[in-house]
């Protein structure tokens, strides 16, 4: 009886794990590869237009960059869209 119970529980856990997916709570996002001369301001202006300050803040928060940001060419940034 106990081995059958364990087998059923393991199958249910495997099924649940296979069906799990991201909730999308973080919203849509893309990836941007930093080029020489890029700044957060220029990237935010390109992607967000309008209030570029908000775009810079979004990029800093989404990528855990903090306030003193040094971008390195080749670095990948997550761009919330």
| DSSP-derived secondary structure letter, 67 | S
The pLDDT assigned to 36 comes to 96
pTM of the predicted protein model: 0.63
**b/e code 60-71 from CB counts within 10 Å (16+ = b):** beebeeeeeeeb
Which residues span the domain enclosing 35? 2-80
Instruction: Work out how many domains the chain is built from and give that number.
Output: 1
CATH number (domain holding residue 43):
3.10.350.10
How far is it, in rounded angstroms, from Cα 45 to Cα 23?
Answer: 28
**What are the mean pLDDT values of the chain's consecutive 10-residue runs (81 residues total)?**
71 56 59 96 92 92 85 94 82
């Amino acid at each position: 009886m106990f081995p059958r119970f364990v087998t059923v529980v393991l199958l249910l856990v495997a099924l649940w794990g296979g069906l799990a997916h991201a909730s999308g709570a973080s919203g849509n996002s893309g990836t941007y590869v930093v080029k020489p001369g890029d700044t957060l301001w220029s990237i935010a202006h390109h992607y967000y237009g309008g209030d570029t300050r908000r775009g810079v803040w979004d990029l800093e928060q989404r990528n855990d960059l903090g306030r003193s940001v040094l971008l390195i060419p080749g670095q990948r940034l997550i761009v919330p869209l």
